Homo-oligomer: A and B are copies of this chain.
Amino acid sequence: MAKSSDGKYEKILHAAIDVISEKGLDKTSISDIVKKAGVAQGTFYLYFSSKNALIPAIADNLLTISLESVKEKTGGKSSFWDILEVMIDETFRITKEYKDIIILCYSGLAIDYSMEKWEAIYQPYYVWLENILKKAMQRNELISDMNVKWTAKTIINLIENASERFYISQSQDDGIEVFKMEVFNFIKRSISNPS
């Protein structure tokens, strides 16, 4: 059930990630990608309809990696605050490691008014966190009057944005630990059950 014969889909996808990370989306040509992937020019179009079709695939790939990593690291944990800590740690780690791909996703998804695709791609992450939140609410760890859907999205965004400010916008007024702690506390103050 492989995507295709020789894993050419993956070859092209990873070559694209490599080259675009290095040269930026604009400066990267299909020619660069197929050269790196070791396939012919025309082969690209057997797997991707166009250059822009790459970006959702890349973004999806990145989010899948992130989510799996978070799921794995939070495997045994039940306390919401432990899970939140892992989410923060992992988001910072992944932002650092894949900052070039993240930039590419920003520039790429803005093309063609395809911003809505973000939401589709993030959907599994949102759903996962919604469930976490619900369980924590049942355990009275969190306040009860909370819009779970909205809060899940906001928390994910808040963490991601903080780490992007840190690693991409180079806004490093303080050390990374301060950054992480601020994120944690900002969220905790807002949604923990004071009981």
Assess whether B157 is in contact with A173, with CB atoms less than 8 Å apart. Answer: no
Selected from B116, B173, B187, the residue in CB contact (under 8 A) with A169 is B116
Assess whether B111 is in contact with A107, with CB atoms less than 8 Å apart. Answer: yes
Known contacts A150-B174, A171-B119, A189-B189; is-contact A113 B106 (Cβ 8 Å): no
Across-interface contacts of A116 in B (CB, < 8 A): 168-170
Across-interface contacts of A150 in B (CB, < 8 A): 173-174, 178-179, 182
Copy count, this protein chain = 4
Residue of B nearest to A25 (CB): B111
Interface extent on A, as a size class?
A: 35 or more
Cβ contacts A162-183/B at 8 Å (1 or 0 each): 1001001111011000110011
Within the assembled complex, what's the spacing in Å between the Cα atoms of A137 and B101?
A: 39
Assess whether B154 is in contact with A162, with CB atoms less than 8 Å apart. Answer: yes
Residue of B nearest to A161 (CB): B157
Within the assembled complex, what's the spacing in Å between the Cα atoms of A118 and B153?
A: 23
Assess whether A147 is in contact with B119, with CB atoms less than 8 Å apart. Answer: no
Cβ contacts A134-166/B at 8 Å (1 or 0 each): 000000000100010111011001100110010
A192 CB to nearest chain B CB (Å): 9
A53 CB to nearest chain B CB (Å): 14
Give the residues from 27 to 66 in chain A that come closer than 8 angstroms, CB to CB, to chain B.
none
Selected from B110, B158, B191, the residue in CB contact (under 8 A) with A107 is B110
- Tell yes or no: A82 within 8 A of B by CB: no
Across-interface contacts of A151 in B (CB, < 8 A): 182, 186
Across-interface contacts of A162 in B (CB, < 8 A): 154
A194 CB to nearest chain B CB (Å): 8
Assess whether B24 is in contact with A112, with CB atoms less than 8 Å apart. Answer: yes
Residue of B nearest to A100 (CB): B113
Assess whether A182 is in contact with B154, with CB atoms less than 8 Å apart. Answer: yes
Across-interface contacts of A25 in B (CB, < 8 A): 110-111
